[in-house]
Structure 1
Amino acid sequence: MPEARPLDPFRSERLVYRAVNDQPQDIAFIHSIQRDAEAQSGSSYALLRPESIKASTEFKDRIEKCLLGALICLPVTGLAEKDSETLPIGIICLKATPLSHAHHRNSDISIDIAKEYRGQGYGGEAIRWALWYGFQMAGLHRISIETFSFNEGAMKLYERLGFTCEGKHREAMWFNGRWHDDVVYGMLEDEWREEQRKAGNDV
């Protein structure tokens, strides 16, 4: 269910969201996410291959160019006012669109959660936060998210979060000897605000 935002716009119920810093521990975390073959096969069209530190560093640079690019973190002590007091467990982005497309006011969410933290509701919480940020802070009109047809868990999660299945690109991905559909989900600003009103949130 949608939830009210805390006073700190970069916190949700259990999580803290911070920038990716140019420091070894952040690069190492991104590298660990990008090296996860199971996650990458479920979220990218790219041909699966071993991940290099150089490629992970380049991915960090792409995160910084997103409309919103943040590490999903657990607070370790206190109020997590310092980056050193957070434990990264994932990455979430609202992708940037070219300036010539900015008037359309739409974006796509991408999310990766480290393997040991999956299945605990962190992904759904982070997506709800990104929806709030996109509609309430960034003034977006439409936010989409995609998955491949073999990822039934992701499809159920997106529908539970209020996304509408808008269609699919049939047999768009070749992986592990089979073709798979690219399934597209979307949410409009008015739909999000209506859910917020039903939940009694002030938006």
Structure 2
Amino acid sequence: MFTTDRLVLRAYTTADLPSILAIANNPLVQRTLIDEHVVPRSERFAIKLEEIANEALLYVVLEAVGSPGIVIGAASLAVGSVKNRDVNLGIGLIPDVWNKGYGAEATRFLVDYAFKDLGVHRVSLGVLENNQGAFEMYKKVGFVEEGRRRQANWLDGKWHDSILMGIVADEWLQRSPSQA
């Protein structure tokens, strides 16, 4: 278990599956995380969630400090390339805690952990253009836009880009603690 100022990042257990499935089934969350149709996810999707949790290099359930047992999100570091020491960051939060700094706090912790404790060289992620809050947060944390898949996601009757972002160890480690 890890803690930050306002978060507990703990190991996933099968008892967390209903909470994680509820987050994945929230239409507001789906619109910001996936480029597939926004539809209710079935029990079969729960199997996929368990695979993601069990196969990630690090998969943590997020709880606010002082609120044990109340899941506000989940985050992961998944191996992108072993040879190149690249991991993919993923994070999903319940809408009730959006724009309150929890995503940035979890992201900062996970990026720092990836570089300092896991010895990775780069952290990569993808963010959908319609998730402007996350895009701005990732930039503030230090991620750099590296590319776009133009018009890659059809949502609300129009096309949106899928943005590729990354940060490398040297960039992260050179930041002052107040920037990171």
TM-score normalised by length of structure 1: 0.82
Task: Please state if 1:169 is matched with 2:134.
Answer: no
Query: Which stretches in structure 1 are left out of the alignment for 5+ residues?
Result: 1-8, 78-84
Contact map agreement 2:99 2:133 (CA 8 A) in 1: no
SS at match of 1:185: strand
SS at match of 1:199: coil
Query: Which stretches in structure 2 are left out of the alignment for 5+ residues?
Result: none
Contact map agreement 1:90 1:113 (CA 8 A) in 2: yes
Q: CA deviation at 1:87?
A: 2.4
The match for 1:179 among 141, 145, 159 is 159
SS at match of 2:3: coil
> Matched residue pairs, number?
179
1:54-86 CA-to-partner distances (Å, cap 9, x unmatched) read: 312431221121011110112337xxxxxxx34
Task: Please state if 1:37 is matched with 2:17.
Answer: no
The match for 1:48 among 13, 26, 38 is 38
Corresponding residue of 2:73: 90
SS at match of 1:104: coil
TM-score normalised by length of structure 2: 0.91
Contact map agreement 1:75 1:86 (CA 8 A) in 2: no
Identity of aligned residues (%): 28
Query: Which structure's residues are more often strand, by fraction?
Result: 2
Aligned equivalents of 1:153, 1:15: Cα separation in 2: 20
Corresponding residue of 2:127: 147
Cα root mean square deviation, aligned: 1.8
**Amino acid paired to 1:89:** I
Q: CA deviation at 1:123?
A: 0.4
Larger Rg: 1 or 2? 1
Corresponding residue of 1:6: none
Aligned equivalents of 1:114, 1:158: Cα separation in 2: 18
**Which range is displaced more, 85-94 or 121-130?**
85-94
